[in-house]
Structure 1
């Protein structure tokens, strides 16, 4: 499945480099703000329109449907749920759209929730436990850390609720020891995302000079893998990694870290970041010190904000993935699991590509 999508993006988008093959209280709903809800509704109206199969995104969407065949029956009235990291980040808002649009397409319902903070591991577990007292038949989860939802997953298993992980993974050894299991998982090669970002900086700087890595939440699957992928790629190329900072996917923390790094290393040439929010915080720090032109900055996700910054020429590049397609896949896989179809080998079906000023115009409908 993954190889087909990689070939698809190479041929249609002509993007730079592709993957070999993102991190939470209780209650019925934890939408972060009225503004986030408004944005979600506006994007949802846009997302439900028919997608052209002539575009990069349209072709990737068609490929997902083909690779997940046989597709589940429609209009079954199944009740699904999903737990994301936070709806304060547009990446997760777009994934919510993928969940909700696909549920509507298949004639089922889905309840998408998240905590206000992507470090609130206790709150994320509370959401899962609260969902289990309702009559949801399957729940997709994106755990904030590999261990924070284990007890809730075990409880879901005991209540015959299907559980799939979307992107972020669970410590399967610990889960097995606790007597639990995952019914299916949508994996992403997060390590390779770090590699791709670092390699972009290496190519841009001829592999010479000082670099830094700005990471997300320590202990989160995607954060640790992106951090390690970038750091090890820089080191293998002979570049000097002067700092590795954990900034919890927070733009202000990344801004502060970058300001300190530049103060100590005014000759730094590149900074690889674990997501676009942090990368844009880094860009702001560089601009305020009037050194952005000498430092290449790369992130991950290809959010709307990142796209605009690349188009404006203030942001070098990002590793694009499709949160919308991840949400779509998750709904389809939950429904297939409820039908008794084998979903144990779904694996990595999420296309990735480095997007910069040379190809951003070809990704206009990507989400």
Structure 2
């Protein structure tokens, strides 16, 4: 009697389950609600597309050298893609070059890397994803002018991010350039680095208010610094005179806006950035073509917008 030999693969028996890919995700710090929301998006995006993620972060968004050390340590474990939010545009480049040499595609999370500088260092970036930071700054200026009027005059303070950080630079530049276009009578009397630090922003605000008691507005490159500025403005009893705008739209900012303290925040929708970063990294791994720069929309949050609750993008404010 002849035996009929049929392979297990032919009839689908004993098929091994597909092995899920592993993505490394290196963020700045999870102590900031902005990055907490982005981590949530990363994890939910990973669950949606069926990949594993292991997330690392450092103590603060000023800890550049510790972040480089964390980056190198992460490469000691196998990964199929590396999603990184660099503290500045150069600190991670040696590590990311090593990742490329290992055949690992690199994703720039939140647009913290300069593609030209990276290329000079031998780093290929699969794509950058985040908000258009310059446009976000400009959006803050547009909202301020809509509130104060194109004929408004008076001194304005800009509190930048960490010196050398491309994200903060673009937000501050976008705000300053658009403000000059729309309301040249609103003069920026100081533009100073607050290093993403709430306490430092509060101190800067105090110093500038002392020198410019007629200050009419403060634009901060993130919400943490904006909340520090708000504390100083309220302590001085100038909340009806000084309009304060932040950027990020994090949970602390939303609470402050609802309490009638912070006037506005240009929401960067970090949850959506994190979720789409993982989804698009999988597209890269599958050989699909993605744009080199992917911009997630921004939204100006005010008490009126939050009270109305009708804006569809509010679903992504976490």
TM over 0.5: yes
* Cα offset, 1:234, TM superposition: 2.7
Partner SS, residue 170 of structure 1: coil
Contact 2:130–2:273 (CA under 8 A) maintained in structure 1: no
Contact 1:302–1:319 (CA under 8 A) maintained in structure 2: yes
* Cα offset, 1:328, TM superposition: 0.7
Q: In the alignment, is residue 144 of structure 1 matched against residue 90 of structure 2?
A: no
Distance 1:334 1:177 in 2: 23
* Cα offset, 1:193, TM superposition: 1.0
Partner SS, residue 219 of structure 2: strand
Contact 2:131–2:298 (CA under 8 A) maintained in structure 1: no
Q: 1:346 to 1:310 in 2, by over 3 A?
A: same
Aligned counterpart in structure 1 of residue 282 of structure 2, from 328, 335, 342: 335
Q: In the alignment, is residue 159 of structure 1 matched against residue 106 of structure 2?
A: no
Please say which structure displays the higher CA radius of gyration: 2
Q: What is the correspondence of 1:182-201 to structure 2 with a 5 Å cutoff?
A: 182-201=125-144
Q: 1:75 to 1:346 in 2, by over 3 A?
A: farther
* Cα offset, 1:274, TM superposition: 0.5
Structure-2 residue corresponding to 1:350 = 296
Aligned counterpart in structure 1 of residue 68 of structure 2, from 125, 128, 133: 125
Return the TM-score normalized by structure 2.
0.88
Structure-2 residue corresponding to 1:67 = none
Structure-2 residue corresponding to 1:108 = 51
* Cα offset, 1:132, TM superposition: 1.2
Aligned counterpart in structure 2 of residue 315 of structure 1, from 252, 262, 266: 262
Contact 1:76–1:108 (CA under 8 A) maintained in structure 2: no
* Cα offset, 1:76, TM superposition: 4.7
Q: What is the correspondence of 1:199-278 to structure 2 with a 5 Å cutoff?
A: 199-206=142-149, 207-236=152-181, 237-238=183-184, 239-278=186-225
Contact 1:271–1:298 (CA under 8 A) maintained in structure 2: yes
* Cα offset, 1:233, TM superposition: 2.4
* Cα offset, 1:172, TM superposition: 2.5
* Cα offset, 1:208, TM superposition: 1.6
Greater alpha carbon shift after TM alignment, 177-186 vs 141-150: 177-186
Contact 2:111–2:128 (CA under 8 A) maintained in structure 1: no
* Cα offset, 1:75, TM superposition: 6.7
Contact 2:126–2:292 (CA under 8 A) maintained in structure 1: no
Aligned counterpart in structure 2 of residue 81 of structure 1, from 18, 24, 28: 24
Contact 2:22–2:80 (CA under 8 A) maintained in structure 1: yes
Structure-2 residue corresponding to 1:171 = 114
* Cα offset, 1:346, TM superposition: 5.4
Taking CA–CA contacts closer than 8 Å with sequence separation of 6 or more, which of the two structures ends up with the larger relative contact order?
1
Structure 2: any 5+ residue segments left out of the alignment?
A: 1-16
* Cα offset, 1:232, TM superposition: 2.1
Contact 1:75–1:108 (CA under 8 A) maintained in structure 2: no
How many residues of Structure 1 are paired with residues of Structure 2 in the alignment? 293
Return the TM-score normalized by structure 1.
0.76
Distance 2:111 2:31 in 1: 18
Contact 2:196–2:225 (CA under 8 A) maintained in structure 1: yes
Partner SS, residue 216 of structure 2: strand
Partner SS, residue 348 of structure 1: strand
Contact 1:211–1:271 (CA under 8 A) maintained in structure 2: yes
Q: Residue by residue, what CA displacement relative to the aligned partner does 1:148-191 show, whole Å, maximum 9, x if unpaired?
A: 11111110010011111011232323322222211222142101
Distance 2:31 2:18 in 1: 31
Contact 1:75–1:107 (CA under 8 A) maintained in structure 2: no
Structure 1: any 5+ residue segments left out of the alignment?
A: 1-73
Partner SS, residue 214 of structure 1: strand
Contact 1:102–1:331 (CA under 8 A) maintained in structure 2: yes
Q: Residue by residue, what CA displacement relative to the aligned partner does 1:28-69 show, whole Å, maximum 9, x if unpaired?
A: xxxxxxxxxxxxxxxxxxxxxxxxxxxxxxxxxxxxxxxxxx
Partner SS, residue 154 of structure 1: helix
Distance 1:245 1:178 in 2: 29
* Cα offset, 1:349, TM superposition: 3.7
Partner SS, residue 248 of structure 1: coil
